[in-house]
Amino acid sequence: MDVTTDPSAPWLIAGLGNPGPEYAMNRHNVGFMVADLLAERVGGKFKRAGKAQAQVVEGRIGPPGPLNRRVILAKPMSYMNLSGGPLNALRDFYKVPVGNIVAVHDELDIDYGVLRLKLGGGDNGHNGLKSMTKVMGSDYHRVRFGIGRPPGRMQVADFVLKDFSSAERKELDYFVDRAADAVECLVIEGLERAQSTYNS
């Protein structure tokens, strides 16, 4: 299903993460990092979204003309495992079809920096996706940003809530930039084109 056939419907691009400076550079917050970069690109600053427990930026992505898309960039401020409530409120407020929602999130089962784009599917144990699926079903897009598996016997929860390592940080800006490109390609040109370009 390629949802870009309805150019008038807005897109809701949700970067998943945890609010607060102590979480800012965690692996679990890479969705926030991508959302922040997209906000820079559209020339907006995140601000509180009315009664919704989220910060948003409204803007447009794409060249002038029929490929130009209205987007709402969102960062839920509810903590990861409650992301669905604020995003569902934004979906209702902006009248966004579920197929025009994109969740940008960390993914343990993919090597660091590798991207995978898909529509629908399970949550693979990711609490942010679990919360979203519970309130809006699973038929939304995902931009999965690989963070790899924890080393040795480190617990998953500890791993995702740790900052990227110094070695990882050397390439982090490049990978975040590429993920933002992938989101833009998905919104403007559709899932198949974005997958063929960015799924590695």
- Rounded CA-CA distance 76/122 in Å is 20
| Strands laid side by side in the 115-119 sheet | 47-48, 54-61, 69-76, 11-15, 101-107, 141-146, 115-119
Please enumerate in sequence order all residues whose Cβ is within 8 A of that of 172, keeping only pairs 6 or more positions apart, or say none. Answer: 33, 164
28 has catalytic annotation = yes
Specify the 3-state DSSP secondary structure of 47.
strand
- The amino acid that residue 186 corresponds to is L
- Rounded CA-CA distance 86/193 in Å is 30
- Rounded CA-CA distance 143/89 in Å is 21
- Rounded CA-CA distance 69/11 in Å is 8
- Rounded CA-CA distance 5/3 in Å is 5
Phi and psi at 88, nearest 5°, equal -65, -40
Q: What is the set of active-site residues?
A: 28
